[in-house]
Amino acid sequence: MDDIWMRVVENIGDRTSGPMKLRFILEPVMASIFAITSGLNDAKAGKPPYFWSLIADPTQRADMVRDGWKSVGKVFVIALVLDVVYQIMVLRFVYPGEAIIVAFGLAIVPYLILRGLVNRLSSKK
């Protein structure tokens, strides 16, 4: 089991210096643009911060996940496809778990962080 985790960490680390490394900048930027837009819309509508509400309010969770996926889903799918292409080019094998981890880190994490932060900052004005 430790060998698997060592391979995952090593392979993910190698992605930052190999071919297609520009996606480590472009994909978070695209997710950030969607997060900022959604966060500003949330602030105008008087909604609470996205990530906190996603965790704390189970009654609204399904609608919030659907709304978030509508915004960042395409970026996630693009990140997933580009990582699979990278794996085929460099590793000559596809590790689906690694592709999901990378796509989640490049698309979903920046979106979750920024949407609530933008909402909080713009609603304080």
Give the CB-side neighbour count of residue 111, counting CA atoms within 13 A: 25
Give per-residue pLDDT as tens, 79-95. Answer: 999 999 999 999 999 99
Give SS3 for 47. Answer: coil
- Per the structure, the complete domain to which residue 69 belongs is given by 2-123
> 28, 106 in Cβ contact below 8 A?
yes
Number of compact structural domains in the chain: 1
Amino acid (1-letter code) at residue 22:
L
Per-residue pLDDT tens over the stretch 25-78:
999 999 999 999 999 999 999 998 898 888 998 998 999 999 999 999 999 999
pLDDT at 125 over 70: no
Quickly count: other Cβ atoms within 10 Å of residue 25's Cβ: 10
Give the model's pLDDT for residue 89. Answer: 93
